Amino acid sequence: MQKRKKYIVWMLFMAIVCSATIGNVQRTSAASTKVTKAVNYARKVYYGTNKKLKKYTKNSMKGSYKEYWNKKKLVKAITYSTKSSSYAMRGYTIEYYYDNHERLIFAYAYRKVKGKLQELRAYYAPDRKMYRYIDAKGRIWNYSQGRNWRYSEKDMRDILFSKGEYYSALAHEGIDNPNY
């Protein structure tokens, strides 16, 4: 009888551990689904935009920026490294991709360092949170609940988002201003 009680207690304990583990797996799976959805959405916007580039209206200033517009909606912006620009990053060329609602969805920054291409990538979702960041060393940072933007002058994750949002606002200032 004593052995049977121990066995039942042990089985209950294992059932609780297993159900907790299964619950965690489901939560992890659901969280990684958010990352996957954000990355897939960003890729869809990226490939869709680049496929239609010739159809968009292009504005540019040599050595400073290029913009691609679908009617009055900014879909892509490329900023080049300049010494004085507030929307560019020194040393980097940055490509910003915006969805049909003009939300920043993907930012891709790159530069050559000692002959090698150094890249940064940031994937956003329509909720304006970052779900994946790939740093210059190729390390992947996934944020299962999304990462909110913070004001930071040193964190590249925050700089990419703030520059992308600022560029979009700046680009629209010229479009919306009748004196432009």
Q: Are 147 and 157 in contact (CB under 8 A)?
A: yes
Other beta carbons within 10 Å of 3: 7
> In whole angstroms, what is the distance from residue 26 CA to residue 132 CA?
20
Give the tokens for residue 48.
């869709």
pLDDT tens, 3-32? 555 445 444 444 443 333 333 233 334 457
DSSP characters for 96-156? EEE-TT--EEEEEEEEEETTEEEEEEEEE-TTS-EEEEE-TT--EEEEEEEE-----SS-H
- The span from the CA of 163 to the CA of 176, in Å, is 20
- Write phi, then psi, for 172 (nearest 5 degrees): -75, -25
104-120 pLDDT, tens per residue? 999 999 988 888 999 99
pTM attached to this predicted model: 0.75
